[in-house]
Amino acid sequence: MTPRRGHPHHAPAGPLPIHVRPVHGECTGSYLIRLATGNRCPPRTLLRLLGRVHHRAGPDHGVELHPQSTITLNTAALHRLGVYSGTPIAHLLRALPELDHEHSTSHEPILRVGPAQRSFLRSCPECERRAGGAHLAPQRSSLQLTCPRHGIWLVNADPPLNTHLVPEIHRATRQLLRQQQRHTADIITALYRDVREYLTHDWRGLGWHTHLTSRWTTRQQILRPDTTPKDLYLLARTEHWSMLPETAAIITVLANYPRGTPHPTVKDHRHLARTLSRALHLENYWSIGTNDHLDPDHSFRPLHQHTAEQARPLGRTTSSPNRSPQPASIRAARSPR
């Protein structure tokens, strides 16, 4: 396949004997490896046939192709890939979401090979098995946290977690995606980051937060039955999949809360506090009383003040903690009805 003179990419391109179709959503490196091995061609040789190879360490400097490698082709190299694979270029760009096309009028075909893009999401192993072992690109949406077909938790976890035994996790994922469609990805992603941070760190020690932790521990026990109780409690406070239903509930309330005055009144705080309490199913907790003398008005005040401040660049309603009524000025609220 390599000519005796000149560079391999100077040879005229022609269809390879074995036609290998790309799998929808496949990593570019994975497809090039399958295309090469299917035609009994070393992957590095296929790269040289496509164009002059550039690597971050220098041109053609010990380049190695991995399934998750990022590939960038200029127009000439992309045309050669279409000819060798026997697949229309438009179909290649649709099927390979990580294939980067560098528009260029140069007649010299050039491709760049780099490491895999960093992402806290992974591809679903069950989907890869159904795809015949092709490596699939991770979900592009940062809020697509579970596989919609198999229920696999897509945040990096070893071994992979199947959330079918905890259906509220799957429902919470769909809820986040609906809110993203209703609002914007930036707003919901920012809320997700803030609420997760609060649930993980800032609200520890409060009685109602301990009440929620018992739910998270129960979910951890369902998917990790062999874990010791001490480790279960630790996992429930650090791994956000177990707290996802409560996170999605809080995000839904905050994202859909109507805009009010720049500085919420006591009545505004009280209404939002009760709405959050109902969304978290904490009515019974407040009704039985607590030793820490906290009511929903006091407890949830820091959350919606903080998220309002963080949302200023996104154009959401803001509040000023300096002008808002202080918790000491609020009378103890009655139990939510």
Which residues are CB-contacts of 19 (< 8 A; sequence separation ≥ 6)? 85, 86, 87
Rounded (5°) CA angle 181-283-272: 50
Report if residue 51 sits inside a domain: yes
Tally the domains of the chain. 2
What contacts 93, CB < 8 A, 6 or more positions away?
99, 101
Angle at 89 between CA 84 and CA 90, to 5 degrees: 155
Adjacent-strand bridge partners of 54 = 59, 112
Judge if 17 and 95 occupy the same domain: yes
Question: Residue 135: inside a domain, yes or no?
Answer: no
- Confirm whether 199 is domain-assigned: yes
Q: What is the pTM of this model?
A: 0.69
- 302 and 198 part of one domain: yes
Per-residue pLDDT of the chain (337 residues; tens, 9 = 90+): 444 456 788 888 899 999 999 999 999 999 999 999 999 999 999 999 999 988 654 444 567 889 988 899 999 999 999 999 999 999 999 999 989 888 877 788 999 998 877 777 888 888 889 888 899 988 776 788 888 888 888 886 667 788 888 899 989 999 998 998 898 888 898 888 888 888 877 665 566 777 788 888 889 888 888 888 778 777 776 778 888 999 999 999 888 876 554 566 777 777 777 888 888 888 766 655 554 444 555 566 656 565 555 544 444 433 333 333 333 322 233 333 3
147 within domain boundaries: no
Asked whether residue 125 is assigned to any structural domain, the reply reads no
Q: Which domain holds residue 188?
A: 163-329
One domain for residues 196 and 323: yes
HSE of 54 in the Cβ direction (CA atoms, 13 Å)?
A: 11
